[in-house]
């Protein structure tokens, strides 16, 4: 077993909206039964990381400060403790690469009866624990990370790059989970994807793979729309060039005045939900993934009733979705150029620059390499 240091470098948020600092944080020397320690080779930023930093995230983070941010990461096992295999039964050894889910309680109504892991109210999400208390390292932006005993662990296939696996551990697995909730995509379906960030791009790729006849991706900047095109979008609508009325008109023109069979909200923009409802055809489906902030908007619920619209919310993901996400990457790596999304690498010392690049839409998915 590799030597485990007493402390390691980690990015720490001490106050909301304050610059993130790099600090020495304790490394847990003891593991709970089922817990593991991994070396974080790659972490990546997610839109929620920005909302966590500026305090607008759905679940308030303030009570837990100081915290290590980053919930999208992969790691190489340094100490596997008592764990012998991953959630699909593949043997795990020190040196293997894994991704892992938030930790469920295994005892509540959602864990036991409805089998909806992502809705477990006792779920221990990464980041939501002070880095001053054991097990200290429960965030991705750190040289090492602790894996909770009840986190679903999934071995990363050899063909899947660590950078892709990191991006999959929040963005892609969220889309995989959402598509499970959406149900079948038919070859006569027109799918509108609102948003061309990581979630919107993965949703575009999955809609393409699922066989949608036509995919319209709405977003900006152009560099992201170009990737959407390479990943299966047939039509692109730039939100920089077209206002909401224009966008609505284009969807109606493209669908013969009917509206889209499926609309997927993947932008997280405040006005996107109201706009998306109007794009769904009568009897269509609206899959809402991106709305994880605490914004309030006004809508006319009759727009949902009048369309007999099926409105589907999707939150986070379950262990099975991590497995499916890894398989999606492995099986579609020739079809989609996943490297296009993960282009810029930052050392831990430049974490604030990475946040800035994410906030300004400069990088699609900044990578942080804690050991760079
Ligand atoms: Zn539970
Ligand atoms: Zn995320």
CATH code: domain of residue 291? 3.40.50.720
Residue 8 pLDDT > 90: yes
What mean pLDDT do residues 30-49 have?
96
117 shares a domain with 194: no
Domain hosting 118: range is 7-155+342-369
pLDDT (tens digit per residue) in 295-345: 899 999 999 999 999 999 999 999 999 999 999 999 999 999 999 999 899
For residue 357, being part of any structural domain is answered with yes
Two structure tokens written together for 49: 């990381």
pLDDT at position 72 is: 98
131 shares a domain with 20: yes
pTM: 0.96
Residue 2 pLDDT > 80: no
The ligand minimizing its distance to the Cα of 202 is 2
Whole-number Å distance, alpha carbon 177 to ligand 1 midpoint, is 18
Q: Which of 1-10, 22-31, 47-56 has the highest mean pLDDT?
A: 22-31
Torsion angle of C-alpha atoms 290, 302, 260, 294, degrees rounded to 10 = -10
For residue 324, being part of any structural domain is answered with no
193 shares a domain with 119: no
3-state secondary structure labels for all residues of 197-247: CHHHHHHHHHHHHHCCCEEEEEECCHHHHHHHHHCCCCEEEECCCCCHHHH
Tell the burial category of 137 from Cβ atoms under 10 Å away from its Cβ (0-12, 13-18, 19+): buried
pLDDT (tens digit per residue) in 175-202: 999 999 999 999 999 999 999 999 999 9
For residue 249, being part of any structural domain is answered with yes
Domain end position, chosen among 313, 330, 361: 313
pLDDT at position 57 is: 84
- List CB contacts of 106: < 8 A, sequence separation 6 or more: 112, 150
140 shares a domain with 274: no
- List CB contacts of 227: < 8 A, sequence separation 6 or more: 196, 201, 340, 341, 364
- List CB contacts of 275: < 8 A, sequence separation 6 or more: 194, 244, 247, 248
> What percentage of the chain carries pLDDT values higher than 90?
95
235 shares a domain with 296: yes
For residue 161, being part of any structural domain is answered with no
What mean pLDDT do residues 18-43 have?
98
The ligand minimizing its distance to the Cα of 127 is 2
The ligand minimizing its distance to the Cα of 107 is 1
231 shares a domain with 119: no
The ligand minimizing its distance to the Cα of 318 is 1
Rounded Cα gap, residues 19 and 272, in angstroms: 29
Whole-number Å distance, alpha carbon 305 to ligand 2 midpoint, is 31
Q: How far is CA 279 from CA 93, 175, 220, 225, 309, in A?
A: 49, 20, 18, 19, 11
pLDDT at position 60 is: 85
pLDDT at position 93 is: 98
145 shares a domain with 217: no
Give the chain's radius of gyration (CA, Å): 20
What mean pLDDT do residues 274-302 have?
94
Whole-number Å distance, alpha carbon 109 to ligand 2 midpoint, is 25
Whole-number Å distance, alpha carbon 92 to ligand 2 midpoint, is 25
Number of helical (H) and strand (E) elements in the chain, helices listed first: 11, 15
pLDDT at position 1 is: 59
For residue 96, being part of any structural domain is answered with yes
For residue 223, being part of any structural domain is answered with yes
Average pLDDT, the chain: 96
pLDDT at position 293 is: 80
pLDDT at position 295 is: 84
Rounded Cα gap, residues 141 and 11, in angstroms: 6
Question: How many Å separate Cα 240 from the centre of its chain?
Answer: 24
143 shares a domain with 29: yes
139 shares a domain with 18: yes
pLDDT at position 138 is: 98
184 shares a domain with 64: no
236 shares a domain with 272: yes
348 shares a domain with 237: no
What mean pLDDT do residues 115-142 have?
96
The ligand minimizing its distance to the Cα of 45 is 2
Lowest average pLDDT, out of 1-5, 16-20, 223-227, 326-330, goes to 1-5
Rounded Cα gap, residues 268 and 275, in angstroms: 12
Whole-number Å distance, alpha carbon 203 to ligand 1 midpoint, is 28
Q: How far is CA 217 from CA 54, 199, 326, in A?
A: 28, 12, 24
CATH code: domain of residue 13? 3.90.180.10
Number of domains in the chain: 2
Rounded Cα gap, residues 297 and 253, in angstroms: 27
């Amino acid at each position: 077993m590799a030597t485990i240091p007493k402390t390691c470098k980690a990015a720490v948020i001490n106050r909301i909206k304050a610059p993130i600092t790099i600090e020495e944080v304790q490394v847990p020397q003891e593991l709970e039964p089922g817990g593991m320690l991994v070396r974080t080779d790659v972490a990546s930023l997610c839109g929620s990381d920005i909302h966590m930093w500026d305090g607008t995230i759905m679940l308030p983070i303030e009570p837990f400060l100081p915290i290590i941010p980053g919930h999208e990461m992969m790691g190489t096992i340094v100490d596997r403790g008592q764990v012998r295999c991953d959630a699909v039964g593949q043997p795990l050894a020190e040196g293997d690469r894994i991704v892992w889910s938030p930790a469920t309680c295994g005892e509540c109504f959602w864990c036991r009866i409805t089998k909806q892991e992502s809705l477990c109210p006792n779920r221990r999400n990464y980041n939501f624990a002070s880095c001053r208390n054991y097990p200290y390292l429960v965030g991705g932006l750190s040289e090492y990370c602790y894996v909770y005993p009840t986190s679903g662990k999934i071995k990363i296939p050899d063909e899947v790059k660590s950078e892709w696996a990191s991006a999959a551990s929040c963005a892609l697995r969220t889309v995989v989970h959402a598509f499970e909730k959406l149900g079948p995509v038919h070859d006569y379906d027109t799918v509108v994807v609102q948003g061309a960030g990581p979630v919107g791009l993965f949703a575009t790729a999955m809609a393409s793979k699922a066989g949608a006849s036509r995919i319209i991706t709405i977003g900006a900047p152009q560099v992201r729309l170009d990737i959407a095109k390479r990943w299966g979008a047939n039509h692109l609508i730039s939100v920089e060039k077209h206002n909401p009325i224009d966008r609505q008109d284009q969807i109606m023109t493209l669908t013969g005045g009917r509206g889209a069979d499926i609309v997927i909200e993947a932008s997280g923009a405040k006005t996107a939900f109201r706009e998306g409802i109007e794009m769904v055809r009568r009897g269509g489906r609206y899959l809402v993934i991106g709305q994880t902030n605490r914004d309030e908007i006004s809508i006319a619920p009759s727009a949902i009733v009048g369309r007999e619209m099926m409105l589907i919310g999707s939150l986070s993901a379950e262990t099975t979705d991590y497995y499916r996400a890894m398989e999606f990457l492995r099986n579609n790596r020739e079809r989609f150029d996943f490297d296009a999304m993960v282009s810029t690498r930052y050392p831990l010392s430049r974490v604030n620059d990475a946040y800035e690049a994410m906030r300004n839409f400069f990088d699609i998915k900044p990578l942080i390499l804690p050991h760079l």
